[in-house]
Structure 1
């Protein structure tokens, strides 16, 4: 039994993780969050001791102090805190699992491997649904081949940006700046929200348009899967959501530069997140998070592709929150088991068969198939 601290444990994804850990493990669970009454109420409903810390995660000194009293920290806060929380975990000498960031921050986390080893910390970044489940499926597929050459990952997400303020920020971050692909063994930068193509997802989702996003799987998989020469990750949304994103970006709502309104200073991004994200999903609105992972290589002398399909649906709540929080809880529980310290991506740190067994125990099944040429 370990002591697990969940940063942001009252949020959409954090509360799912807290619930899963409380109901399925015997670990001690604590929450660090600005919303202390909500945190106490959540733990009370789950029949757990109300071990709660009031914490602003941007307070580095306080962050280390709170983390130091626990064995493992599960970070479910916003991506902009990823590196600060990673450094705090190393300073506090505690293990860390997070939901993932984009490729540049993930590379910076991997560069902290020596510091994590010296501190005796196991740090596993990117343990949500993507990155996270996608990495695990890539590793599983590679193990089913004699030689792996490429990994293609596709996501289709139906909930709109007005689901929550955090989704607004995520849509902006995923649709601006640069993304990377691995092409013939070299990383190539491409504009995010570009390189569109149509991908056939499992029924009932069918053909959907997808585009590049700055996901980290592209930079982690080549480190652990020998022979990989090509890796790509793309995401798609319904057409009306793509139109919303394009319109808001063209009007500059992704900008952090503040402007003045009647003597009040606010950035377009903060305004958009607060205003658009306040609506939320209606109780009857459906939400789906769909994944397709293709692992290419050779098996028995034949060109072979291993395919994985996975989908989660919800009504009135983001499907992404449900599956991301669940995957993070599974990963946190697995990382409490003794293993070598250091910073390792999920495809290296988590046993894929054990991981999928735990997912299946929760009624979440991954469909697998294999095709040869």
Structure 2
């Protein structure tokens, strides 16, 4: 089996290094547009199965050319290239696991093409969306009647610094969308859009995290696929206390607007200006991080009010020298690609995690996550 990894940043490198260890994988091609990144990836992987390939990954033709001889691809690319990568995979008849969960409605329209090509497409396969989605689906599956599912997740610096108590792990442009885009959710079985930065609540996690805040962010595929099974479903993103209120002030003052304004005769986008100002202040002084997750599903089981809760506090991986966010994002994607390659996941079409990692697959997948240090605690409350 030949696996291609598109993008060799922090997550892509983690994927390459771990999937190369699989006895079922014969070859791993690490593809990027920058030779320096490829060289760093090859050094980190240090495996004879891994080869590097320098290639542009900007168009469908670019990506098709690197996938046409592969069996499975894992896309670790920016949001803007997600749909392009999936279309290229269909053309190449190559199954693909994509970290990006956006544009699900457009992606699911490719269902018939994916089935005709005989491939599996798994969109939004990371920690959130990804792990959070199939935990919510599992909770709904376990109940007789599901009222609400809330998926909470966030990446936090271990050593937060003022003024925003946050540091960027990946691309700031992806983070900025949390402050500016309406958030998709489902209420009473119908899709709804919630205003950016809405639904602010205080939420507490075990030490060393403590008190945090969360706001509603996009529920991606889960809003579409689970809305007929649960009355309400939301995703929320966690930050340390005070972060969201400060970003709300910037939004209220217009600093997050996209439309260009004239300043001294030049047109400037306020959000682009803000991003440029914020980026150096969000780099932090340590790469150590913590990823928190809590998925809560409530309803009725055997006539009793029941709540199922899964919780995770995941720390920086000193053994592999990778961030918690890289581990919790890369490992689900890597394992899912491995399951496709070995035939353990043999359905065809567009299949988000909440459709595939439930039922009989749930426990084995959770055990494999645990084997990579992603331990998620479960609690049941009934009354």
Structure 2 length normalisation: TM-score? 0.85
| Residue 114 to residue 261, structure 1, CA distance change in 2 (3 Å) | farther
Q: 1:96 offset after TM fit, Å?
A: 0.6
Match of 1:110 in 2: 108
CA distance in 2 between counterparts of 1:322 and 1:230 reads 30
Contact 2:155 2:292 in 1 (8 A): yes
CA distance in 1 between counterparts of 2:201 and 2:19 reads 38
CA distance in 1 between counterparts of 2:381 and 2:40 reads 50
Match of 2:162 in 1: none
Cα RMSD over matched residues? 2.8
Match of 1:97 in 2: 97
Match of 1:304 in 2: 306
Match of 1:148 in 2: 146
Of 305-314 and 153-162, more deviation after overlay is shown by: 153-162
CA distance in 1 between counterparts of 2:32 and 2:294 reads 34
Match of 1:362 in 2: 372
**In the TM superposition, what whole-angstrom CA distance separates every residue of 1:18-69 from its partner, at most 9, and x where no partner exists?**
1221234541211110122431342244223452222222122121111111
How many residues get paired? 364
Contact 1:142 1:148 in 2 (8 A): yes
Match of 1:72 in 2: 72
* 5+ residue gaps, structure 1: none
| Residue 256 to residue 42, structure 1, CA distance change in 2 (3 Å) | farther
Structure 1 length normalisation: TM-score? 0.87
Q: Secondary structure, in 3 states, of the residue corresponding to 1:30?
A: strand
Structure 2 residue 5 is matched with structure 1 residue 6: yes
| Residue 321 to residue 261, structure 1, CA distance change in 2 (3 Å) | farther
Match of 1:187 in 2: 191
Q: 1:259 offset after TM fit, Å?
A: 7.9
Q: Secondary structure, in 3 states, of the residue corresponding to 1:163?
A: coil
Contact 2:126 2:332 in 1 (8 A): yes
**In the TM superposition, what whole-angstrom CA distance separates every residue of 1:255-279 from its partner, at most 9, and x where no partner exists?**
375989999x986655655664457
Q: Secondary structure, in 3 states, of the residue corresponding to 1:23?
A: coil
CA distance in 1 between counterparts of 2:240 and 2:92 reads 43
Match of 2:215 in 1: 211
Q: Secondary structure, in 3 states, of the residue corresponding to 2:307?
A: strand
Q: How does 1:201-240 map to 2 (within 5 A)?
A: 201-222=205-226, 227-240=229-242
Match of 1:197 in 2: 201
Q: How does 1:281-360 map to 2 (within 5 A)?
A: 281-283=284-286, 286-314=288-316, 318-338=323-343, 339-350=346-357, 351-360=361-370
Structure 2 residue 46 is matched with structure 1 residue 84: no
| Residue 246 to residue 306, structure 1, CA distance change in 2 (3 Å) | same
| Residue 161 to residue 26, structure 1, CA distance change in 2 (3 Å) | farther
Match of 1:23 in 2: 21
Q: How does 1:108-147 map to 2 (within 5 A)?
A: 108-147=106-145
Contact 2:166 2:239 in 1 (8 A): no
Of 240-249 and 356-365, more deviation after overlay is shown by: 240-249
CA distance in 1 between counterparts of 2:274 and 2:170 reads 8
* 5+ residue gaps, structure 2: 158-164
**In the TM superposition, what whole-angstrom CA distance separates every residue of 1:47-97 from its partner, at most 9, and x where no partner exists?**
234522222221221211111110111001111111111111111111010
Match of 1:157 in 2: 155
| Runs of 4+ in structure 1 over 4 Å off | 256-263, 265-276, 315-318
| Residue 308 to residue 325, structure 1, CA distance change in 2 (3 Å) | same
Contact 1:195 1:212 in 2 (8 A): yes
